[in-house]
């Protein structure tokens, strides 16, 4: 097979696989006959080898001194493919001095990616109402996600993407030292606890992360799709307030 044809085949295949990856495809079946045909192709001479750009992973330090250092490192991170499509990284924001509550979600969406801030879209507006109902303001709690870059089409982050990004969140929690953590959605609980059970089974029952009480509950985006679950989430939030020795403020009539 001529080299130019081979190069075109490799380039087209690479583009196709990148497209499938961005669409969220995690596994593809390949016909064995195709693999056998590829195996019979002549080797390409080293000088004519196809060069594929590879992102260089930047090791994550084991001991950051501040959240600012973490945010700066996140902004240059290329440790998983999510960096390729991001506009802004979203490290998190809020009270970093032992807040009563740290909220942990899944990952940034389109609005968060555009602004570089967590939970600023429709789900974020609902989260703000949840925080207000508990008697807090957004700036009094800390809000973060399992991954710091937006997954394509807002899909759930892949296990390898979570694993690459979790060291940032773990060190954030160590520096922030929240009194409680509210894990919102199955991805947050899987990232923090390694639990793969459904969030419906886990919500409303206290767990523990590194000595910190952790309450699993539904993600605000899920509540937008199924408002009937808001009552259950409010029950979960009330359990957190009880743990903190607080009462929800009176509701405005």
**Could you please report the per-residue DSSP string of 27-64?**
-----HHHHHHHHTSPPPPGGGPPP---PPP-PPPS--
**What are phi and psi for residue 215, nearest 5 degrees?**
-110, 115
pLDDT at residue 48, rounded to an integer: 42
pLDDT at residue 195, rounded to an integer: 81
CATH 3.40.470.10 residue ranges of the chain are: 67-243
What is the 3-state composition of the chain as percent helix, strand, coil, each rounded to the nearest 5? Answer: 50, 10, 40
pLDDT < 50 positions in the chain: 1-4, 23-26, 44-54
The pair of three-digit structure tokens given for residue 173, joined into one six-digit string: 């929690």
pLDDT at residue 112, rounded to an integer: 98
pTM: 0.77
Instruction: Look up tokens 């929240």; give the residue.
Output: 178
Q: Which class in CATH covers the domain with range 67-243?
A: alpha beta
Q: Strands 207-209 and 180-184, how do they pair?
A: unpaired
């Amino acid at each position: 097979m001529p080299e130019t044809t081979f190069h075109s085949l490799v380039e087209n295949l690479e583009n196709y696989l990148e497209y499938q990856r961005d669409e969220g495809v995690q596994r593809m079946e390949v016909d064995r006959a195709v693999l056998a045909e590829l195996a019979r192709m002549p080797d390409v001479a080293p000088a004519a080898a196809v060069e594929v750009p590879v992102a260089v992973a930047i090791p994550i330090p084991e001991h950051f001194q501040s959240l600012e250092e973490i945010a700066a490192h996140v902004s240059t991170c290329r440790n998983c493919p999510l960096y390729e499509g991001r506009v802004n990284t979203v490290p998190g924001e809020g009270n970093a001095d032992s807040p009563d509550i740290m909220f942990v979600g899944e990952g940034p969406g389109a609005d968060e990616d555009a602004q570089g801030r967590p939970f600023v879209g429709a789900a974020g507006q609902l989260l703000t109402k949840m925080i207000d109902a508990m008697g807090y303001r957004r700036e009094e709690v800390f809000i973060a996600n399992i991954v710091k870059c937006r997954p394509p089409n807002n899909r759930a982050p892949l296990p390898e993407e979570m694993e690459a990004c979790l060291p940032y969140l773990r060190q954030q929690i160590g520096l922030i030292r929240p009194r409680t953590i509210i894990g919102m959605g199955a991805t947050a609980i899987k990232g923090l606890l390694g639990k793969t059970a459904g969030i419906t089974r886990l919500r409303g029952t206290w767990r523990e992360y590194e000595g910190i009480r952790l309450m699993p509950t539904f993600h605000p985006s899920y509540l937008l799709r199924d408002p009937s679950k808001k009552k259950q989430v409010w029950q979960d939030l009330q359990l957190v307030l009880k743990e903190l020795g607080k009462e929800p403020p009176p509701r405005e009539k």
